[in-house]
Chains A and B, each alone.
Chain A
């Protein structure tokens, strides 16, 4: 601070170390990015190209892929009723999620609010299912859905009120709904958490001001809270849709996509062809369709919001 004569020296050192600094920076860039980039290129980026290649073959995985079929796999998929059923089911799950799961999460988040005594405990409880493994949650719900009313709680209730058991996981009309209930049980807490964080960012003054202006809590919610929560809601919808497109383990464990493909999703469809029937070329084509679907949806989302929250981190 007080060494005035030192200033020219420090300037000199600075310019002298400038190239040194540049060298260090370049080294940092190369060395720090190397591990991430290597793993990413080998296991995330390259597989995309690899599967584009295999998607043009009729290949059972034994020996090299030689049976070139061009775009036939892509055409076959689009005319397969089971695939269309899977697309329809994914769209239904998305619709259920946006129509029921997210509003439930939002309602609970608004109710937990800022100052409710015990809010931390409720948050902990509501969020707990999210951290349990999918396989364990699937098995828990299979216990509840057990077709035998002497063993499955939900059917015991059904017998009590309706006089007969319900085929939660065996009735093709009901199975997707049953799976969705289990998915909601597991995932609504995550969305509630997002909304709670979003609510925390809304300045308290806004609500106070509107209250002073005579707004009741319903008006407050629709004219103040909801619009200000817009970007959080968009993020939550985005993550929910991406999650629905790739939903796999819970469905596979609970129903294997059945009965008669009634709960088939895109991921179970791909897994069946890739790892059960060993039609690897066909399975690759399904994977590419799913990737394109995720990509198109993300691009639309970014275009619509102009603020890709999740993508920019903070």
Chain B
């Protein structure tokens, strides 16, 4: 019911929309400010960064960006990050896909207990676990399994700490696939492996894509595990390299801006293409229904 009959309905609607958009544009401006400052900074010389730091770079100076892109270091960081991301994501999708199928579709005695165990993993996130994990890596080292200062070590730890959440997400998707399909496949002579391979996996492709997209982001952005596990500069990843670069050239804001801008670009491009998968993975992980 119109509260104030003096203002026509359409005008009220228009006013409401206007305020909505106004607020949104303010929030969007706040979100873009750090990014724009960063891009501006990356297109300036160090001198310009001192004289007029927040203006539009005119003319744009591409020297810093070109300089970073022409170093071997940047591409090596990139390569290491890509290796980690691909291996961790592949591992997580494979391992969690298998486990989630068992938890969603098969009955066995220890099932409830195992699900509780995996759930407990959610309460032991890597930021809390990093020191304990480091102990275990050292212990494995003493046993002759060298995971410290190796990309394999980072990959295994990243996979291990992404198992709990992603298995739960996939289990939800797998449970949602109608039981009738499973029954029908039995009647057609499929066993549970055929059912998993021929029916479940093709149907679960969107879910697997969502989990993959989420894991790619987590692995690509991870700084803590590489920081603790890797020592050799040749193994550093992009976030780790960014941290070192910032420590080394912290005073040269233009150069740091250029580096951070360059290392953000792959993430933003990926986000634009995979937003749907990322969003559906996150909401499935957190929301019931």
Contacts A151-B49, A214-B1, A290-B128 given; indicate if A36 touches B192 (C-beta within 8 A): no
- Chain B positions within 8 Å of A28 at CB level: 101-102, 106, 192-193, 196
Q: Determine which of B30, B168, B176 lies in contact with A312 in the assembled complex, contact meaning CB atoms within 8 Å.
A: B168
Taking a contact as CB atoms under 8 Å apart, the answer to whether A133 and B136 are in contact is no
Q: How large is the interface on B (under 10, 10 to 19, 20 to 34, 35 or more residues)?
A: 35 or more
Check A139 for interface membership: any CB of B closer than 8 A: yes
Q: Roughly how many angstroms separate A204 CA and B285 CA in the complex, as a whole number?
A: 24
Interface hit among A40-48, A71-79, A91-99: A40-48
Check A174 for interface membership: any CB of B closer than 8 A: no
Q: Roughly how many angstroms separate A100 CA and B106 CA in the complex, as a whole number?
A: 44
Check B208 for interface membership: any CB of A closer than 8 A: no
**Using a CB-CB cutoff of 8 Å, which residues 22-61 of chain B contact chain A?**
23-24, 27-28, 30-35, 37-38, 41, 49-50, 53-54
- Chain A positions within 8 Å of B50 at CB level: 150-151
Interface hit among A82-90, A161-169, A191-199: A191-199
Contact with B along A216-260 (1 / 0, CB 8 A): 100000000000000110011001001001111100010000000
Taking a contact as CB atoms under 8 Å apart, the answer to whether A143 and B169 are in contact is no
Q: Roughly how many angstroms separate A150 CA and B50 CA in the complex, as a whole number?
A: 7
Taking a contact as CB atoms under 8 Å apart, the answer to whether A248 and B131 are in contact is no
Q: Roughly how many angstroms separate A128 CA and B172 CA in the complex, as a whole number?
A: 26
Check B108 for interface membership: any CB of A closer than 8 A: yes
Q: Roughly how many angstroms separate A144 CA and B35 CA in the complex, as a whole number?
A: 10
A interface size (C-beta, 8 A): 98
Taking a contact as CB atoms under 8 Å apart, the answer to whether A194 and B243 are in contact is no
- Chain B positions within 8 Å of A81 at CB level: none
Q: Determine which of A39, A143, A198 lies in contact with B37 in the assembled complex, contact meaning CB atoms within 8 Å.
A: A143
Q: Roughly how many angstroms separate A36 CA and B256 CA in the complex, as a whole number?
A: 40
Taking a contact as CB atoms under 8 Å apart, the answer to whether A313 and B131 are in contact is no
Check A180 for interface membership: any CB of B closer than 8 A: no
Q: Roughly how many angstroms separate A275 CA and B134 CA in the complex, as a whole number?
A: 10
- Chain A positions within 8 Å of B239 at CB level: 133-136
Q: Roughly how many angstroms separate A108 CA and B275 CA in the complex, as a whole number?
A: 19
Q: Determine which of B54, B124, B127, B242 lies in contact with A44 in the assembled complex, contact meaning CB atoms within 8 Å.
A: B124
Q: Determine which of A36, A135, A136, A246 lies in contact with B167 in the assembled complex, contact meaning CB atoms within 8 Å.
A: A36
Check A178 for interface membership: any CB of B closer than 8 A: no
Contact with A along B149-174 (1 / 0, CB 8 A): 00000001101110110011111110
Shortest B171–chain A CB gap in Å is 5
Taking a contact as CB atoms under 8 Å apart, the answer to whether A274 and B131 are in contact is yes
Taking a contact as CB atoms under 8 Å apart, the answer to whether A126 and B28 are in contact is yes
Q: Determine which of A21, A51, A139, A140 lies in contact with B191 in the assembled complex, contact meaning CB atoms within 8 Å.
A: A21
Residues of A contacting B: mostly:
helix
Residues of A with Cβ closer than 8 Å to B?
A: 13, 17, 20-21, 24-29, 31-33, 35-37, 39-40, 42-48, 50-51, 54, 108, 111-112, 116, 122, 124-129, 131-137, 139-141, 143-144, 146, 150-151, 153, 156, 185, 190, 193-194, 197-198, 201, 214, 216, 231-232, 235-236, 239, 242, 245-249, 253, 267, 270-271, 274-275, 280, 283-284, 287, 290-291, 294-295, 298, 307, 309-314
Mind listing 9 A-B residue pairs with CB under 8 Å? A26-B108, A32-B101, A40-B160, A108-B27, A111-B23, A132-B264, A132-B268, A141-B34, A153-B37
With A35-B94, A313-B169 given, name 16 new contacts (CB 8 A).
A28-B106, A47-B135, A122-B24, A126-B27, A131-B217, A136-B263, A140-B37, A140-B260, A153-B54, A201-B287, A232-B287, A242-B123, A249-B223, A275-B131, A284-B131, A291-B124
